[in-house]
Amino acid sequence: MPDDSEVRHTGDEDLRQELETKLSALARALPDRIDADPERVEQGLARLVLTVIEVVRKVLEHQAVRRMDGGGLTADEVERLGLTLLKLDERMQQLKGAFGLTDEDLQIDLGPLGRLR
Amino acid sequence: MPMATYLYCVRSDPVSPADWLAGIDGARVRALEVDDLIAWVSDAGSTTVEPTVARLKAHDAVCAAALESGETPLPVRFGQTFAEDGATIAGIQSRARELRARLARVAGCVELRVVVTIGQDADPAPSTSEPIDASPPGDASSAGEIEGPGTAFLRRLARAGRADLARETGCEEVRRAIRAAAKMIIVDQQRCETVRGLAYFPVLVRHDDVAAFRDVVTDTLPSQAIHLSVLGPFAPYSFAADA
Amino acid sequence: MPGDVVDNAPLELSDLINRVLDKGAVIAGSVTISVGDIDLIQLDLTVVLTAIETARSAERRRREAREDADGDVPVLRPE
């Protein structure tokens, strides 16, 4: 049975690999140029930053679940890790909401689910 | 406010959009000559075009009209804008060789998307917008302990992850079956993707083989729990970018 | 089939986003950033729920319709 430090080491390697893969994919998906119009550059950069945070956040969530399932965390550690990610998720939904867009069409399409925040 | 040019698609045959064709924000779609290629474009208010449902639909409608009107066009991704027509032409020229190669690859073909829905999903995709209770009723462990919200969150992510994996595995099995059955009509295809709650894979088939492909899918009944939809035909979005 | 259009609307919306936002040639100029599930459109999560819910009920209706049909085109019953 691997001791805690071994489990963590393997976990860190998984984390590093997944970050590398996902961030490479993001880099490939980025446009050659970002609009440098002074009126828009701030929003463009903000969206870029949020996207990078989201990519990293998804990886962290995925790795956290793997560690939890792998049994390498105590119940306390699971709760603390989960809470951190939960708060980060809530915060990101708020920030994304500021950039998100609602649309009249959307209300119709969602039907029974009601209004979108 | 500076105008900009919004790009929808690039085609190899000299066909112009119909007068009535409206694009992003109702702007009229027009043809732009780029050497031997034709780009369908419209005027936009600025180089930043935020995605809304209406605009996504408009973009798609223009590419669909282009598909119907002659040779298969190469659709571009939503949001491709340039400062003005000249910049658009220059941009397309800088990639002309690639674009011609891709146009040749999709000539005479259309994209169909097979959507695989597994009817017995354990849980819907993660809804982190659900209200979090300190003690969600369904998550109490067998020992009777109340789970903290952090743990509940991770457990929900875990369930969603397993659901995604099941969806993707199921989709790949379907894809293998359909690939075997439709070998002669599938010009190209890609691996399954599970994204935004959809598990699907795209195929490229000749325009005349659409009905035959639908028949193959109808005849492929993996199990009662798996439902298949064929969406399309579309302009070949999935086959327009780098593999 | 007309009934399917009503059923499939959220599915088609989800597909529309995947297709038009994630795919398509990227030539130059400004582009909307979207990588897989990650983008900055708030509509995501709710669309996902709707798509799955609708797919499930469509599946159920199809099964029910198949059981009823005598070879006629099944008429979708309203929920």
Q: Which residues of B touch C23 (CB under 8 A)?
A: 77, 237-238, 240-241
B31 close to B17: Cβ distance less than 8 angstroms: yes
- Give the one of A65, A90, A106 whose C-beta lies nearest to B157's C-beta: A65
In this prediction the ipTM stands at 0.81
What token pair was written down for A115?
């209004």
- At CB < 8 Å, which residues of chain A contact B? 35, 37, 40, 43-44, 61-62, 64-65, 68-69, 75, 78-86, 89-90, 93, 101, 103-106, 109, 117
Q: Is A35 on the interface with C (CB under 8 A)?
A: yes
For position C11, what pLDDT does the model report? Answer: 81
The interface residues of chain A toward chain C in range 70-89, judged by CB-CB distance below 8 A, are none
Give per-residue pLDDT as tens, B179-224: 999 999 999 999 998 876 779 999 999 999 999 999 999 988 767 7
For position B188, what pLDDT does the model report? Answer: 96
C27 close to B95: Cβ distance less than 8 angstroms: yes
**Structural domains in chain B plus CATH codes:** 4-106 (no CATH), 109-239 (3.30.70)
For position A29, what pLDDT does the model report? Answer: 63
Q: Is B46 on the interface with A (CB under 8 A)?
A: yes
Q: Residue A90: is its pLDDT beyond 60?
A: yes
Q: Following CA atoms B127, B129, B135, B140 in sequence, which dihedral angle do they give, to the nearest 10 degrees? A: 0
Give per-residue pLDDT as tens, B86-103: 999 999 998 899 999 999
Domain-by-domain residue ranges, chain A? 4-113
* Spatial distance between the Cα atoms of B219 and B234, rounded to a whole number of angstroms: 22
Residue showing tokens 């469509």: C58
Domain-by-domain residue ranges, chain C? 2-25+38-68
For position B29, what pLDDT does the model report? Answer: 97
**Record: contact C40-A34, CB cut-off 8 A:** no
DSSP state of B108: T
**Record: contact B161-A62, CB cut-off 8 A:** yes
Among the residue ranges A100-104, B20-24, B55-59, the one predicted with the least confidence is A100-104
